[in-house]
């Protein structure tokens, strides 16, 4: 089978980085995205490569997926509505895209003889279970419609693996960050929001007391894990993280220090659906060759550098 792959959500933050690395490694890449949150500017340079093809479409469209997946070796399924607050405000849309859309992807992959589906899941499926670090054999405890939708996708992957013999891997990403992550949406993740406000001299807004902890994963590490999961014999569910946690207060201090502004964060009320502590056990993923390379300060420096350059170009 030719080295031809599909990245659903390929014009998004993680998807565009993944598509670029797949091209660098010699794959032909079909970028499939409905552009609801993905951006053409993320993939414009990639489309200059003759091995890249862009198709605008939604994972809700099973007939189109059936066409797109013909002759495809791997499907990297990243298309999703990826926001806990948005899912609480509107639970139906994330279900339709994240759960039903994943079912459509698996059906089309099965029908077209795809070698493996690599599904982007989320650490949110663990919820607020007190035991740390989080291990893949722990019972899930989703606290938001988003988390439920991602867990549903995992179950569909498991069923298609067992019933239809379609190889699948579900990667539970922990708080992925890096260049190209959206800072402007009202549902933007913490790091791009903090960088944007700090860069503009505004105090970062922390929900709660800031003593909640997170295990942050630089996007290049998430990409490396995705490709390793495809090319190895990996099967099942794996945590993808750095394996170390920091408090949100420590995170904001580090961002402010790296940017060089003399500001202090402000604290707002905690948000519904947010977990208190998160830390991953990544020993299972290490078994297929995953090893995180980017410590938080180095990853943040790269992210801030990209954001600064982007702002200069806009001005």
146 among known catalytic residues: yes
Number of CB atoms found within 10 A of residue 66's CB: 15
Number of CB atoms found within 10 A of residue 313's CB: 7
Assigned token pair, 218: 């630089």
E strands, 202-295, are 205-207, 213-214, 217-218, 236-240, 246-247, 266-268
Query: Which CATH topology does 4-176+218-242+282-292 take?
Result: Rossmann fold (3.40.50)
Residue-wise pLDDT tens digits, 134-171 = 999 999 999 999 999 999 999 999 999 999 999 999 99
Mean pLDDT of 100-119: 98
- The residue ranking higher by pLDDT, 182 or 296, is 296
The per-residue pLDDT for 188 is 57
The per-residue pLDDT for 185 is 63
Contact 238, 277 (CB under 8 A): no
Catalytic residue, candidates 119, 126, 146, 173: 146
Distances (CA, A) of 13 to 176, 177, 269: 10, 9, 28
Contact 265, 307 (CB under 8 A): no
Please report, for the chain, the start and end positions of each structural domain, with discontinuous segments joined by +: 4-176+218-242+282-292
Residue 92 has pLDDT above 90, yes or no: yes
Tell me how far apart the alpha carbons of residues 52 and 283 are, in angstroms, rounded to a whole number: 34
Q: In what order do the strands lie in the sheet with 4-8?
A: 52-56, 28-33, 4-8, 74-77, 116-122, 168-173, 236-240
Element holding 122 (H helix, E strand): strand 116-122
Contact 28, 2 (CB under 8 A): yes
What angle in degrees, to the nearest 10, is found between the helix axes of 248-259 and 296-314?
50
The per-residue pLDDT for 1 is 52
Tell me how far apart the alpha carbons of residues 122 and 120 are, in angstroms, rounded to a whole number: 7
Q: pTM for this one?
A: 0.93
Contact 214, 175 (CB under 8 A): yes
Residue-wise pLDDT tens digits, 30-67 = 999 999 999 999 999 999 999 999 999 999 999 999 99
Element holding 168 (H helix, E strand): strand 168-173
Q: What is the dihedral of CA 298, 225, 123, 66, to 10 degrees?
A: 130
């Amino acid at each position: 089978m030719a080295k031809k792959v599909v990245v659903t959500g390929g014009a998004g933050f993680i998807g565009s980085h993944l598509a670029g690395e797949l091209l660098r490694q010699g794959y032909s890449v079909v970028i499939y995205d409905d552009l609801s949150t993905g951006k053409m500017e993320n993939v414009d340079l990639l489309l200059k490569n003759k091995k890249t093809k862009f198709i605008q479409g939604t994972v809700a469209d099973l007939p189109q997926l059936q066409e797109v997946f013909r002759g495809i070796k791997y499907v990297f399924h990243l298309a999703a509505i990826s926001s806990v607050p948005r899912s609480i405000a509107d639970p139906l849309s994330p279900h339709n895209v994240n759960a039903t859309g994943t079912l459509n992807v698996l059906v089309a992959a099965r029908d077209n003889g795809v070698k493996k589906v690599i599904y982007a899941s989320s650490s949110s499926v663990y919820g607020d279970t007190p035991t740390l670090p989080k291990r893949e054999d722990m019972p899930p405890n989703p606290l938001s419609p988003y988390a439920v939708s991602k867990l549903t996708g995992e179950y569909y992957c498991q069923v298609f693996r067992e019933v239809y013999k379609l190889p699948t891997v579900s990667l539970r990403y922990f708080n992925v960050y890096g260049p190209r992550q959206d800072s402007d949406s009202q549902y933007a993740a913490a790091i791009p929001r903090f960088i944007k406000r700090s860069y503009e001299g505004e105090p970062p807004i922390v929900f709660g007391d800031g003593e909640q902890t997170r295990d942050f994963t630089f996007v290049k590490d998430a990409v490396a894990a995705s490709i390793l999961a495809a090319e190895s014999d990996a099967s099942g569910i794996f945590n993808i993280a750095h394996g170390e946690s920091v408090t949100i207060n420590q995170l904001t201090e580090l961002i402010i220090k790296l940017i060089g502004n003399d500001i202090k964060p402000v604290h707002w009320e905690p948000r519904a659906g947010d977990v208190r502590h998160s830390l991953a056990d990544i020993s299972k993923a290490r078994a297929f060759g995953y090893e995180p390379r980017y410590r938080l300060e180095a990853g943040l420096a790269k992210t801030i550098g990209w954001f600064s350059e982007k702002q200069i170009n806009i001005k």
